[in-house]
Structure formats: structure tokens, C-alpha cells
């Protein structure tokens, strides 16, 4: 059994300008304000159960559809510039 309390996200490793004035990650339902960057597992990401394993599958399904559409239109250009 794993019990974790009092934790908070640490995005200090992320070197992309996607944070608001309070240091919170700017996203809309897991779609980050940087092309091709997504997050999962944050509280209330898309629904109340988003932060649990029970809710991650619904969020992953929706975000994977968005990512697939993004890759279909930007994927080749993104891989050429990376």
C-alpha cells in the first residue's frame, strides 16, 4: 500500500514558458500552452476523478485523441525541428 499526502507538483525541470504569474502550469484540460505538451494526473484535470488511477484512463483517452490529431497536422514538422 502506498499513502501519499501533502505533495504538490514540481515542474522545476520544465524549461518552457507555460506558467502563470503564480507559477502554476497553464493548461486547459491537460493541453498545455505549448504545442505538443500534455499533462495527466493533475487534480480536476478534466473531471473530479482525474487525479486517481480510476480517472486517468478517461483523461488519457481524450488527450490521446487530441494528440493524434495534433500529430497528424504537425507531426512531421515537429520531428524535423526537434
Condensed to tens digits (0 to 9), the pLDDT of residues 30-78 reads 888 888 888 887 777 777 776 766 677 777 888 888 888 888 888 665 5
**Residue 58 lies inside a defined structural domain of this protein:** yes
**Residue 57 lies inside a defined structural domain of this protein:** yes
Number of domains in the chain: 1
Does residue 19 carry a pLDDT above 90? yes
Residue 70: which domain range? 27-81
Distance CA 82, CA 80 (A): 6
**Residue 8 lies inside a defined structural domain of this protein:** no
**Residue 20 lies inside a defined structural domain of this protein:** no
Residues 6+ away with beta carbon under 8 Å from 28: none
Amino acid at each position: 500500500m502506498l499513502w501519499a499526502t501533502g505533495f504538490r507538483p514540481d515542474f522545476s525541470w520544465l524549461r518552457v514558458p507555460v506558467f502563470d504569474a503564480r507559477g502554476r502550469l497553464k493548461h486547459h484540460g491537460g493541453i498545455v500552452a505549448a504545442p505538443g505538451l500534455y499533462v495527466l494526473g493533475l487534480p480536476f484535470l478534466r473531471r473530479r476523478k482525474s487525479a486517481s488511477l480510476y480517472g486517468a484512463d478517461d483523461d488519457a483517452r481524450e488527450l490521446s485523441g487530441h494528440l493524434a490529431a495534433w500529430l497528424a497536422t504537425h507531426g512531421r514538422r515537429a520531428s524535423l525541428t526537434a
